[in-house]
């Protein structure tokens, strides 16, 4: 009886820890990205971005290499940005912000995943660590989709966020070319549209201080 009571209060406690985790990550809805909604009504936040990219993974499952675990891709994408609750967003073309990004995000992961009971805290952290490392085919596919989404947004809003942040073709190419290793046909599709945007004059080939097109 004592034992059962202990067991059921432990279970209730674990449920409360899981709900506390969900409550903590609700703050991701207040984290603003440098990307416009397709409606251009406002900037996108990291929570709705996470939904969009997870749904994109479900939609593009057929484009993954054999051996990619598409459900693990979805789990990665649901969890991939929650460290931003503490660490904030680092714009992908902000080289200075990237200097301490890893350190800030590791501390955030320690705190936020640490809200969960074990072994779930370790399981979720392992999902996030695998995504961050970009070594497995599964993580590389997830990362490719995460890169694709802002490209789709920019290509369908006349490059608005690119223009506002003076991003050049050379920068876009060097940050996104990794899409190719995970899915060549996705890269072919999006790269030809980025080149068209240069031709159409939305984005400069290279920024004044940035790398030359030939060197990326």
> Residues in the site for Ca ion, rule: CB under 5 A?
146
Which of 188, 187, 174 is closest to 148 using CA atoms?
187
58 near a copy of itself, judged by CB under 8 A: yes
Which CB atom, from 38 or from 102, has the smaller least distance to a copy of itself? 38
Q: Confirm or reject binding of residue 66 to a copy of itself (CB under 8 A).
A: no
Residue 14: phi and psi, rounded to 5, are -65, -35
Q: Counting Cβ atoms within 10 Å, is residue 86 exposed (0-12), middle (13-18) or buried (19+)?
A: middle
Nearest 5°: phi and psi at 122? -65, -40
Residues 37-56 that bind a copy of itself (CB under 8 A): 37-39, 41, 44-45, 47-48, 50-52, 54-56
Inter-residue contact 32 to 45 (CB < 8 Å):
yes
| Residue 12 site contact among a copy of itself, Ca ion, none (CB < 5 to 8 Å, cut-off depends on kind) | a copy of itself
Determine the longest span between alpha carbons in the chain, in angstroms. Answer: 75
> For binding to a copy of itself (CB under 8 A), which residues are involved?
11-12, 15-16, 18-19, 21-23, 25-30, 37-39, 41, 44-45, 47-48, 50-52, 54-56, 58-60, 62-63, 71, 74-75, 78-79, 116, 120, 152, 156, 185-186, 189
């Amino acid at each position: 009886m004592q034992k059962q009571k202990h067991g059921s209060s432990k279970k209730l406690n674990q449920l409360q820890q899981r709900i506390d985790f969900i409550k903590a990550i609700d703050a991701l809805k207040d984290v603003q990205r440098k990307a416009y909604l397709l409606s251009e009504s406002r900037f996108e936040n990291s929570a709705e971005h996470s939904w969009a990219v997870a749904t994109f993974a479900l939609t593009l499952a057929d484009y993954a290499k054999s051996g990619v675990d598409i459900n693990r891709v979805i789990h990665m994408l649901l969890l991939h940005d929650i460290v931003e609750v503490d660490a904030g967003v680092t714009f992908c073309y902000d080289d200075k912000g990237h200097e301490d990004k890893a350190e800030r995000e590791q501390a955030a992961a320690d705190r936020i995943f640490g809200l969960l009971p074990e072994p779930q805290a370790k399981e979720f952290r392992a999902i996030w660590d695998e995504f961050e490392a970009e070594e497995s085919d599964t993580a590389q596919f997830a990362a490719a989709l995460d890169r694709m989404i802002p490209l789709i947004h920019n290509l369908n809003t006349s490059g608005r966020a690119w223009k506002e942040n003076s991003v050049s073709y050379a920068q876009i190419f060097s940050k996104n070319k990794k899409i190719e290793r995970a899915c060549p046909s996705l890269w072919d599709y999006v790269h030809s549209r980025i080149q068209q945007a240069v031709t159409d004059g939305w984005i400069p080939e290279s920024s004044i201080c940035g790398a030359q097109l030939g060197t990326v």
